[in-house]
Amino acid sequence: MPKLTIDGKEIEVEAGTNLIEAARRLGIEVPHYCYHPGLSIAGQCRLCMVDIEKTPRPSIACNTQAADGMVVHTDTERVRDTRRSIMEFHLINHPLDCPVCDQAGECWLQIYYMKHGLYDPRMTDEKVHKPKAVPLGPHVMLDAERCILCSRCVRFCDEITGTGELGIFHRGDHSEIGLFPGRDLVNNYSGNVVDICPVGALTDRDFRFQVRVWYLDAARSICTGCARGCNIDVHVNRRRPHHAEGKRVARLKPRFNADVNAWWLCDVGRYHYDFVDAPTRLTAPVRRNNTGTADIAWDEAVSGVAEALRRYSPDQVGVLASPRMANEDLLALRRVLEARAMRQVAYDVPPPALAEGDDFLLRSDRAPNRRGAELIGLGGDTGGLMASARAGRLKCLWVFHHDLLASGWPAADVRQALDRVETLIFTGTNANAISERAQWVLPAAAWVEREGTFTNFEGRVQRFRSAVEPLGQALPEWDLLGRIVAALGGTPAGGRAELWFRELVRTVPAFAGLSYQAIGDHGQLIPGATSAGAPTPPGRRVKVHG
């Protein structure tokens, strides 16, 4: 392993490590645009110049591998001067339209100009004009004038998705990013090019002109779009509620996890959050009976549901849990079931159409916690449960999240079952055909409004954190279920998600030994599970020359 010195500090790195990464480990940032650790080295932006002793002129750090005995300086007068020049070159044809640019506030041209530029502009000639506001596909908009031609997006489509929609066309300062003839940027990972674009050239059509980034707060979370559990940051706007028509969740951004998703996030997951701020959100507990429908207080809802559960013998009650529920929720539900010795529980409701996975991150299983539901012991015979309902053997049915009338079951069968049930209870985030006819509706907080853990398809338990407050009176499911446990005479694990998780670890052997601390930001595998790591990107599976 080569040992080198960077700015007077010694460090030993694995062979093949470049100087940007070696410096990063020492906490030294070498500014760069085109370099991205997930992509090949392009060496185009020329910003990452460093001085290497015994080398006549500054070298690009991205394409220089650490060598034993190498002495590197990242902050000499010559390096600072070179950076200043490169910044000037990057900016001479840039439109400087920051006030109307969505990237402003997280733009690396702004950041590096303030850190490494600060020259007096000398460009007085007409700038080069290029196409603006060009839709590249359903999610991405291009402003070619803002583009610094770092080629990250081109390399992403070549090397990660292997779809090759983008290229750099023309020459010299008329070079521009564009689509190959007849192509659109339509692949399930298109949103990533916005993430890796260091400037405002590629913006998200979903995010454009919604909110300035400096009003956003972020929380670490897990994507709920499928069973992979890609690590994300949830960006929310709490400070300017009048922006973006009150939408609180502004966007989801991938968060690096080498063992799950690397730097990437698929579009299915990325845009799977509209329900959080949708008008269909359930915001108060509801009681529906022959006198009408009324919003009620939680106490009344909890005692009403507890009473209904007590009213029937355990074999007259069926529960349809959901693989969208967190581990903590599922354990709390199990406690409710145990309190009444109820056994008829299942979570597998067939979807209307079988979802397909893709050849990279997206799994065909579109629920984030099927593995958790299975391990916590809520798996059962869904079809049998529905058959009992249809046969009139169930008097009470409690549905979590599912819209059974939009499932893979024939609607007539579902209607027949629902018609024969006396008491229908619904718990979920959004209204659907089931909540519309339920006697009791218990509104649940969406995953971005609360804490919890999911177990992904490999058995990796990962934490998600609260980014915004629950809408209205919605509660995390572990909370509302805990209240019902208490109402049924049991003892809930506690008033925090972590306490339920600790009880999970203590009582369900599959989760033995885990802890919030150990899960951290990386996730922790359940005992006996193994991880294959993030899959090899499709674009890297075929050997490409050169």
Partner 1 sequence: MAEIVLMRNFGRQDSHTLAGYRATGGYTAWEKAKGMEPAAITEEVKKSNLRGLGGAGFPTGMKWSFVPKTHTGPVYLVINADEGEPGTFKDRYLLERDPHALIEGMLITARAIRSAKGFVYIRGEYVQPWRIFSGAVKDAYDAGLLGNGFDIVVHRGAGAYICGEETGLLSSLEGKKGWPKIKPPFPAIKGAFGEPTVVNNVETIACVPPIINRGADWFAGLGTKTQGGTRMYSVSGRVTKPGVYEDSCAVTLRQLIHDHAGGVSHTGKLKAVVPGGGSAAILTADEIDVAMDVDGLKAKGSMIGSAGVVVMDESVSIPEALLVLARFYAHESCGQCTPCRESTGWIYKMVHRIVDGHGRKDDLDTILDVAKRGGGTTICAFYDGAIGPYISYIEKFRGEFEALCRS
C-beta closer to partner 1: residue 90 or 465: 90
C-beta closer to partner 1: residue 65 or 407: 65
The SS3 call for residue 196 is helix
Euclidean distance between CA atoms 512 and 505, whole angstroms: 5
Euclidean distance between CA atoms 398 and 389, whole angstroms: 11
C-beta closer to partner 1: residue 95 or 472: 95
Closest approach, Cβ 165 to partner 1, in A, equals 15
DSSP 480: H
The SS3 call for residue 395 is coil
C-beta closer to partner 1: residue 78 or 239: 78
Closest approach, Cβ 171 to partner 1, in A, equals 5
Q: Which residues, listed in sequence order, are joined to residue 295 by a DSSP beta bridge? A: 286
Euclidean distance between CA atoms 167 and 222, whole angstroms: 32
Closest approach, Cβ 57 to partner 1, in A, equals 5
For the chain, how long is the longest CA-to-CA vector? Answer: 88
Closest approach, Cβ 85 to partner 1, in A, equals 4
Would you state the structure tokens that stand for residue 454, as one six-digit string? 């999911």
Closest approach, Cβ 98 to partner 1, in A, equals 19
C-beta closer to partner 1: residue 44 or 515: 44
C-beta closer to partner 1: residue 49 or 305: 49
Euclidean distance between CA atoms 544 and 124, whole angstroms: 43
Place of tokens 């659109």: 184
Burial class (CB in 10 A: 0-12, 13-18, 19+), 323: buried
C-beta closer to partner 1: residue 40 or 293: 40
Closest approach, Cβ 148 to partner 1, in A, equals 7
- Cα angle 295, 296, 301; round to 5: 125
Closest approach, Cβ 55 to partner 1, in A, equals 11
Closest approach, Cβ 109 to partner 1, in A, equals 12
Euclidean distance between CA atoms 207 and 189, whole angstroms: 16
C-beta closer to partner 1: residue 59 or 507: 59
Closest approach, Cβ 86 to partner 1, in A, equals 6
Closest approach, Cβ 536 to partner 1, in A, equals 19
Q: Which residues, listed in sequence order, are joined to residue 203 by a DSSP beta bridge? A: 141
- Neighbour order of strands in the sheet with 452-455: 452-455, 460-464, 524-525
Closest approach, Cβ 539 to partner 1, in A, equals 15
Euclidean distance between CA atoms 219 and 228, whole angstroms: 19
C-beta closer to partner 1: residue 74 or 427: 74
C-beta closer to partner 1: residue 58 or 539: 58
Q: Which amino acid is present at 331?
A: L
- Can you say whether residue 355 is alpha, beta or left, with left for phi > 0 and alpha for psi between -120 and 50 degrees? beta
C-beta closer to partner 1: residue 33 or 360: 33
Torsional sign, CA 33, 37, 43, 44:
negative
Assign 3-state DSSP to the chain and report helix, strand, coil percentages, each to 5.
30, 20, 50
C-beta closer to partner 1: residue 88 or 259: 88
Q: How far is CA 75 from the centre of its chain?
A: 37
Contact predicate 163/190, CB 8 Å: no
Would you state the structure tokens that stand for residue 196, as one six-digit string? 């890796």
Give the closest residue to 276 by CA, choosing from 247, 316, 298: 247
Contact predicate 157/187, CB 8 Å: yes
Give the closest residue to 373 by CA, choosing from 480, 463, 453, 455: 455
Closest approach, Cβ 72 to partner 1, in A, equals 17
Euclidean distance between CA atoms 87 and 29, whole angstroms: 16
Residues that bind partner 1 (CB under 8 A): 41-47, 49, 57-58, 60, 63, 81-82, 85-86, 88-90, 92-93, 122-123, 125-126, 128, 148-149, 167-168, 170-175, 545-546
Closest approach, Cβ 50 to partner 1, in A, equals 12
Give the closest residue to 537 by CA, choosing from 150, 163, 34: 163
Closest approach, Cβ 172 to partner 1, in A, equals 4
Helix ranges restricted to H, 106-217: 108-112, 152-155, 192-196
C-beta closer to partner 1: residue 45 or 508: 45
C-beta closer to partner 1: residue 122 or 242: 122
Give the closest residue to 345 by CA, choosing from 399, 413, 406, 419: 399
